[in-house]
Structure 1
Amino acid sequence: MNHIAELRKGAGIKQRDLFTRLGWTQARLSNYESGHRTPGLSECRAITTALNELGAKCALDDVFPPEQDQPRAA
């Protein structure tokens, strides 16, 4: 799960401003925000950079938290 939308909204950034900054379509960003698509590492970095350029103060792990390791059954 990512926190793109939460961080974007919390910083007062409109979705249009973010996808325009990224040079993407609204549908692409929306699919990433909703979890319908999973961005690759380069897209994750681009999103984090764009959020910061637009005024959010966040790190890669804030936007895309590392998954917690699940204990494995013996």
Structure 2
Amino acid sequence: MNRIAEHREKAGIKQRQLVAALGWTQTRISNYEAGRRTAGLAECRAITAALNQLGAACSLDDVFPPEQDEIKAA
């Protein structure tokens, strides 16, 4: 589960603005937000950086919270 849409909306960022900042398609971002597609680490970092560039104040862990199983294993 990710929180892309939550942080994007909280900062007043339109999906098309995020798409433009990343240079990706709207379908790609929509699929990430809906959980139909899973972002790799590079994509997660790019999305977080773009959100921050557009005015959101968030970290990688804010947008892509670690799974509880991963936390317990660490």
- TM-score tier, shorter chain, comes to over 0.9
User: Residue 66 of structure 1 aligns with which residue?
Assistant: 66
Larger Rg: 1
* Deviation string, structure 1 residues 14-51 (Cα, Å, up to 9, x no partner): 00000110000000000000000000000000000000
Question: What is the RMSD of the two structures over their aligned residues, measured on CA atoms?
Answer: 1.3
Q: TM-score, normalised by structure 1?
A: 0.93
Q: Please list every run of at least 4 consecutive aligned residues from structure 1 whose deviation after the TM superposition is greater than 2 angstroms.
A: none
User: Residue 20 of structure 2 aligns with which residue?
Assistant: 20
Gaps of 5+ in 2: none
What CA distance in whole angstroms lies between the structure 2 residues aligned with 1:69 and 1:19? Answer: 31
- Select the structure that is richer in helix: 2
Gaps of 5+ in 1: none
State the number of aligned residues: 71
